[in-house]
Protein backbone atom coordinates (compact mmCIF):
# COMPACT_ATOMS: atom_id res chain seq x y z
CA UNK A 1 0.00 0.00 0.00
CA UNK A 2 0.96 3.59 -0.60
CA UNK A 3 -0.13 6.81 1.11
CA UNK A 4 -2.76 7.36 -1.58
CA UNK A 5 -4.53 4.09 -0.66
CA UNK A 6 -6.63 5.79 2.01
CA UNK A 7 -9.50 3.30 2.00
CA UNK A 8 -7.26 0.22 2.22
CA UNK A 9 -5.21 1.81 4.99
CA UNK A 10 -8.39 2.71 6.88
CA UNK A 11 -9.67 -0.86 6.65
CA UNK A 12 -6.39 -2.19 8.05
CA UNK A 13 -6.41 0.36 10.88
CA UNK A 14 -10.02 -0.43 11.70
CA UNK A 15 -9.12 -4.11 12.04
CA UNK A 16 -5.98 -3.44 14.09
CA UNK A 17 -7.45 -0.78 16.38
CA UNK A 18 -11.14 -1.66 16.79
CA UNK A 19 -11.51 0.26 20.07
CA UNK A 20 -9.92 3.48 18.82
CA UNK A 21 -12.07 6.43 17.81
CA UNK A 22 -10.42 7.75 14.63
CA UNK A 23 -11.49 11.30 15.54
CA UNK A 24 -9.22 11.14 18.59
CA UNK A 25 -6.06 10.01 16.76
CA UNK A 26 -3.21 12.49 16.45
CA UNK A 27 -1.57 12.78 13.05
CA UNK A 28 1.81 11.82 14.53
CA UNK A 29 0.35 8.57 15.88
CA UNK A 30 -1.56 7.90 12.67
CA UNK A 31 1.59 8.39 10.62
CA UNK A 32 3.47 5.85 12.73
CA UNK A 33 0.60 3.34 12.71
CA UNK A 34 0.43 3.50 8.91
CA UNK A 35 4.19 3.10 8.61
CA UNK A 36 3.96 0.01 10.86
CA UNK A 37 1.36 -1.77 8.67
CA UNK A 38 2.75 -4.99 7.18
CA UNK A 39 1.49 -4.23 3.67
CA UNK A 40 2.57 -0.59 3.67
CA UNK A 41 5.46 0.25 1.37
CA UNK A 42 5.96 3.96 0.80
CA UNK A 43 8.29 6.73 1.86
CA UNK A 44 7.59 8.31 5.27
CA UNK A 45 7.97 11.82 3.88
CA UNK A 46 5.35 11.29 1.16
CA UNK A 47 2.52 11.90 3.61
CA UNK A 48 1.00 15.25 4.43
CA UNK A 49 -1.93 16.67 6.36
CA UNK A 50 -4.36 16.20 3.45
CA UNK A 51 -3.44 12.52 3.08
CA UNK A 52 -3.72 11.87 6.81
CA UNK A 53 -7.11 13.62 6.90
CA UNK A 54 -8.30 11.41 4.04
CA UNK A 55 -7.24 8.30 5.96
CA UNK A 56 -9.07 9.51 9.08
CA UNK A 57 -12.24 10.21 7.06
CA UNK A 58 -12.14 6.76 5.46
CA UNK A 59 -11.53 5.19 8.86
CA UNK A 60 -14.55 7.05 10.26
CA UNK A 61 -16.64 5.67 7.37
CA UNK A 62 -15.45 2.14 8.14
CA UNK A 63 -16.41 2.49 11.81
CA UNK A 64 -19.92 3.67 10.90
Query: Residue 55 sits in a domain of what CATH number?
Result: 1.10.10.600
- Residue 56 within any structural domain of the chain: yes
Res 64: pLDDT: 84
Number of domains the chain contains: 1
* Residue 56 main-chain phi, psi, to 5 deg: -60, -45
Q: How far apart are CA 60 and CA 13, in angstroms?
A: 11
- Residue 1 within any structural domain of the chain: no
Question: What is the value of pTM for the model shown?
Answer: 0.94
Q: How far apart are the first and last CA of the chain?
A: 23
6-62 confidence digits (pLDDT tens): 999 999 999 999 999 999 999 999 999 999 999 999 999 999 999 999 999 999 999
Amino acid sequence: MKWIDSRDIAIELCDLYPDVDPKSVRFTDLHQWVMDLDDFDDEPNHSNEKILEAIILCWMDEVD
